[in-house]
Structure 1
């Protein structure tokens, strides 16, 4: 029996091109169709000129809540489709169910009388707690449980914590960490920096690292005139300010769409050729720069291609949905293991000093 040889810092251009072509073609097509749907049947109580103004929010709300439901299923052992042997069919059913639940969840924000001001506080919290428990947290709180129990406990915990936060003075967990957790997770830089730690300490440490990175990013954005710390944000608790114009928000959305998608599909090449932590840091900087270049290009297309900046926002954000689901449900970019230079076993840094 021959031992499986695992490539060190492999370049796999054909797989990368295929993966990114599929992901971003799906992103463009689904966003185009979703914009038609939410204009014809808005999620919020919009009509007339207000519909034109707010339809981007319906698009983003629906796609983000659909992705959240899909991710909750994935981290819960693919419940309720965990008994299906056909991974492709399971993936299709997961996406269909997630979009249905995403629409119901989005409508519920208005059915319950909460309104548009609650959209991002809710979304910011549910994503933060899913990341804390299941991504940076590696499911530590439900480890060893059967998929139905994992799903139930995670859902109840996240719903309770989200209710508590959104109904308090804290109001929300700012979502500005999201592209950075994608960069850190996809590059495995966060795992490297917290190697040897056990859960939940590792999750707390990774969240702490992200907090420092976000504060640095907001400070730099302020120096560049893209962020204004004097402006009121969401709620009175956080005194971070907010973006000074649409360019920063579009960059944030694009960064969410490309960070996980680019690094996973590229198998982190060529950064895998550089030992950690520098290879991971360069991979993250690559995502920041690539997202900004795409943002500049998309802003230039407002008018010739996009009706307005709001429409550009919907296209800028849709990639996050498919970059996660095509990888996690269908194996795009995750089907063949590889090693960073200096790494001993794929997927972990715990055995490296």
Structure 2
């Protein structure tokens, strides 16, 4: 891309088409997934098949990005490359979900497997940049061996079902998507930056859990802290979490940190941005529940199918808010970032 075009400041209107595409793709993914998995089942649970396949597909997108888009680097046209990467990621996502169903009970171990894969790829390559200088394909082979080993160890070592609580994902998206962690750690060594990243992450997770507990949407118990961290006590909280994961990275990246990077100092702008996106997630949660409730009206107080469908809908947004900017890098999608918190706006 021409450097003059890359550095040119653009307004919100330039990026809105990408966000609209993300929303449309998410709704279509949710609806097509519903049509497919009500007819063809992999694990026997419709909503889990939908979520599992597109989260595993997204994980493969992450892996290809970590590997510098290898093995697709010979495709010079970025649009063609993006389509091939998406197709490959989806093929592998569905394939690995199917293969996993033949080995373990995905109703029990589906989320622990996916949570482990996302956690370890972020730890090794997005926060500590392990093996960054090792050439490909050697790096890819080492990565896969390490990730699979760590996921298996995690499931074995942690109490059943062996899942790493996923609440770290919202602050991770904020730190990486907003670019604020790069600003805060610019003068640190790589190891120090990685430790700082996770320290901030844990603090933000704790604040979210405390606040959610105060408003009765989360039930944290010291008597069984592990299980409390896994599920909380409210499907509404889980839907909000999915909505937060849908917006928290995509909004910052696609809109290039606007309007929050106009706020100075940068730390204040980033914090206001995080709070704003969390509020947007509440609105998205209410809208998603209203949509699914109108399609699947509950037959009684025990009928929560509409909430499960809302959960599936917001998680579709997680896939596409990441996938579209990552596999179609350009100024319009906002990835890779061409701005910083020190840039004049």
- TM-score, reference length from structure 2: 0.88
Aligned twin of 2:267: 277
Q: CA deviation at 1:172?
A: 2.5
Q: Are the counterparts in 2 of residues 11 and 270 from structure 1 also a CA contact under 8 Å?
A: no
Q: Secondary structure of 2:153's match?
A: helix
Inter-partner Cα distance in structure 2 for 1:232 and 1:248: 21
Structure whose residues are more often helix by fraction: 2
User: Which residue is 1:117 aligned to?
Assistant: 108
Q: What is the CA–CA distance in structure 2 between the aligned matches of 1:198 and 1:17, rounded to whole Å? A: 36
Q: How far apart are the structure 1 equivalents of 2:181 and 2:137?
A: 29
- How much does 1:181 deviate? 0.8
**2:287 aligns to what?**
297
CA distance in 1, matches of 2:192, 2:252: 26
- Who is 1:204 aligned against? 195
Alpha-carbon contact 1:189-1:281 (below 8 Å) kept:
no
Question: Are the counterparts in 2 of residues 77 and 147 from structure 1 also a CA contact under 8 Å?
Answer: no
Runs of 5+ consecutive residues of structure 2 not aligned to the other structure: 298-305
C-alpha distance in 2, partners of 1:305/1:203? 44
Q: Does 1:33 align with 2:32?
A: yes
Q: Could you tell me which residue of structure 1 aligns to residue 231 of structure 2? A: 242
Aligned residues: 329
Q: Structure 1 residues 193, 339: CA separation in 2 closer, same or farther (over 3 Å shift)?
A: closer
Gap runs ≥5 in structure 1: 47-53, 347-353
Q: Report what 1:321 is aligned to.
A: 319
Equivalence for 1:51 = none
Describe the superposition over 1:15-51 as per-residue Cα deviations: whole angstroms up to 9, x where unpaired: 221111111111111221111111111111x2xxxxx
Deviation at 1:238, TM superposition (A): 5.9
2:214 matched to which residue of 1? 223
| Whole-Å separation in 2 of the counterparts to 1:68 and 1:189 | 23
Q: Which residue of 2 aligns with 1:267?
A: 256
Cα pair 2:246 2:319 within 8 Å, conserved = yes
Deviation digits for residues 121-171 of structure 1 (CA, Å, limit 9, x no counterpart): 11111101111122222xx32222223122111111111111111111352
Q: What are the residue-to-residue correspondences of 1:67-216 with 2, within 5 Å?
A: 67-137=58-128, 140-170=129-159, 171-216=162-207
Asked if the contact 2:15–2:255 (Cα under 8 Å) also holds between the matched residues in 1, the reply is yes
In the superposition, the TM-score normalised over structure 1's length comes to 0.86
Measured against aligned partners, the alpha-carbon deviations of 1:53-94 in whole angstroms (never above 9, x if no partner) come to x31111111000000011101110112212221221111111
Superposed displacement of residue 7, structure 1? 6.1
Partner of 2:302: none
